[in-house]
Structure 1
Amino acid sequence: MRLLEKLRLRYSEMTEGEKLIYNLMTKNVKEFSLKPIGAVAEELQISKTTLMRFAKSSGFNGYAEFKQALQEEELLDSSPAVKLKKFMNNHVILTAEKIRQQEIENIHHTFQNLNKEDFDRIVDTILSTNSIRTMGWGISSYAAEVLTLRLKLIGLKCETLQRRTATLVEEVSRLAPSALFITFEFRPYMYEVLDAVRLAKSRNMTLVLVTDTPQCPLIEFVDYIFYCETETEFFGNSLIGPLFWVNLLTSEVIYRMKDNIMDTLERQQEILTNLRYYIP
């Protein structure tokens, strides 16, 4: 039996504090599983001790173990096959409005999870380094490529590592230790991406991870972590949340560069208005 189902069955036996925890958790399991214990306690106006007692009464040794089990269950529920079965079993009618609302929530939760201090540090690093590399695999690679394109358009040196004539590990081995290395990794997580990030860590690069859950195995190797919501009705991941994060980052970069970037933008405008290349 799944954890949430077990908790639901004993709802009538819960204390008022435990019911508050359960109700908040079931509103958005993934968002709840991302929050630190202190943030949950503050939101519910209860003590951390109440949360720890809740975890132990649910059969766990502590809150950290309970939270990990919740994250693993949420990870299992994210596969396209499970999503479609759940959708069909619940006889849900799919509408454009439902999809629109889901994408709005993806943007909202991505913004809510944003660590403002770390975000500012990454912007500062982008503006001060002369070597930026992005990486991703599968659908994650599209977000990496969009970030690279945006940064190159404003005159910054950025390239996306791709698995073409060499593995990702080989590509990382050629990078200078001074590189800022931004990896996008959404479920399902890839061993080759993990190995590449592990190598980058051993070479003392500044590592940024953009991912969807705390279960991502790359987390222990990176310096900065940003969580993007990627929920969809059927597919494995939506890119709306990650692309919002890319837009947020590059907009902040260009804003801080505004006094020094006009020449670059004007040169781009000359190309965009050249009738040899673009149709008016």
Structure 2
Amino acid sequence: MSVTNKIIARRSQLSQSSRFVADWVIENAAKAAYMTSQELAQEAQVSQSTIVKFTQKIGFKGYSEFKLALSEEIGRKQAISATPLHSGIFADDPLAVIAQKLIKAKTEAMIQTTNALSFDACNQAAQWLNEARTVQIVGIGGSALTAKDLGYKLLKLGITALTEQDSHVQIAVARTLTEKDVQIAISFSGERKEIIVAAEAAKEQGAKVIALSSPNISSANKSKLRRIADITFYTIADEVENRSSAIASRCAQNVITDLLFIYLVQLRDESARQMISDISSDIRQIL
């Protein structure tokens, strides 16, 4: 329990003079952490002996132990507030600033990912997906959300898409794929063990593997997933800082999956128009 929480929890058990000390410390914890007992007594307008009794009443041996615990608590809070929660967002940022920073981080991830696209790779991947008997999409954690979203989209187009989230099931399904099937493996790091095993299993069965992964600076230092995949789409986002969730990387992943979906819609619409045209031509020849 933190020092301030101890004070709040035991405030009702304190004498009136000790309550003055408790209230002052709660309101001025950062300042109190660096005061002598005499200075604190003067600020709270109590005797120095009251300060010692106050610290003992809330569970410390004396003022020195209390002051050390309080200064450590203040230090931890300052470290947390100075650490970005997500892409430059800090604990003390107002909501309006958080909104702007979040939009900036997501926009940058989408722009950089789009700029790194190979449209030849998009065309090839869409062709494989369009012709696939089955499409398996694998992802763990945040990437599983991207996998599930793409799976729903493919199902709308009549493409059989399997998006099991359990890693053991993903690997088992991968072992049932054939050369007529496609696996989409999503891992920002490209090193997630469960995804690597599933991708290897799919590759061994002859299935084509499409990866969504972050790029490496050195082409000689490719991630394991990139080495396995037939096609890799780079998802570029700043995920090196401590953060609450991989928000930017999911935006980067969604840029790729949404683009493939829209391209598949075009392909299937064009195929439908061509089929109608062929049928009409056959009817005219008969007539």
Q: Which amino acid aligns with 1:198?
A: E
Give the 3 Å change call, closer, same or farther, for CA 87–102 of structure 1 in structure 2.
Answer: closer
Name the residue aligned to 1:178: 180
Q: Does 1:124 align with 2:133?
A: no
Q: Does 1:245 align with 2:256?
A: yes
Whether the 8 Å contact between 1:154 and 1:261 is mirrored in structure 2 is: no
Name the residue aligned to 1:226: 233
Structure with the higher fraction of residues in helix conformation: 2
Whether the 8 Å contact between 1:131 and 1:158 is mirrored in structure 2 is: yes
Structure 1 runs (4+) deviating above 6 angstroms are none
Whether the 8 Å contact between 1:209 and 1:224 is mirrored in structure 2 is: yes
The 1-side partners of 2:125 and 2:87 are apart by 39
Give 2:114's match in structure 1, choosing from 107, 111, 119. Answer: 111
Name the residue aligned to 1:191: 193
Give 1:162's match in structure 2, choosing from 165, 180, 185. Answer: 165
The 1-side partners of 2:162 and 2:171 are apart by 15
Unaligned runs of 5+ in 1: 1-80, 263-280
The 2-side partners of 1:181 and 1:170 are apart by 13
Q: Does 1:97 align with 2:100?
A: yes
Give the 3 Å change call, closer, same or farther, for CA 97–84 of structure 1 in structure 2.
Answer: closer
Q: Which amino acid aligns with 2:246?
A: N
Give the 3 Å change call, closer, same or farther, for CA 227–260 of structure 1 in structure 2.
Answer: same
| TM value normalised by structure 2 | 0.55
Helix, strand or coil: the match of 2:172? helix
Give the Å deviation of 1:261. Answer: 5.9
Helix, strand or coil: the match of 1:258? helix
Q: Which amino acid aligns with 1:212?
A: S
RMSD: 3.0
Give the Å deviation of 1:230. Answer: 3.4
Give the 3 Å change call, closer, same or farther, for CA 224–95 of structure 1 in structure 2.
Answer: same
- Tell which structure's C-alpha radius of gyration is larger: 2
The answer to which of 197-206 and 116-125 deviates more is: 197-206
Q: Aligned pairs, how many? A: 181
Q: Which amino acid aligns with 1:126?
A: L
Unaligned runs of 5+ in 2: 1-81, 217-221, 274-287
Identity over aligned pairs, percent: 17
Give the 3 Å change call, closer, same or farther, for CA 85–109 of structure 1 in structure 2.
Answer: closer
Give the Å deviation of 1:83. Answer: 4.6
Whether the 8 Å contact between 2:133 and 2:160 is mirrored in structure 1 is: yes
Whether the 8 Å contact between 2:89 and 2:98 is mirrored in structure 1 is: no
Give the Å deviation of 1:124. Answer: 1.1
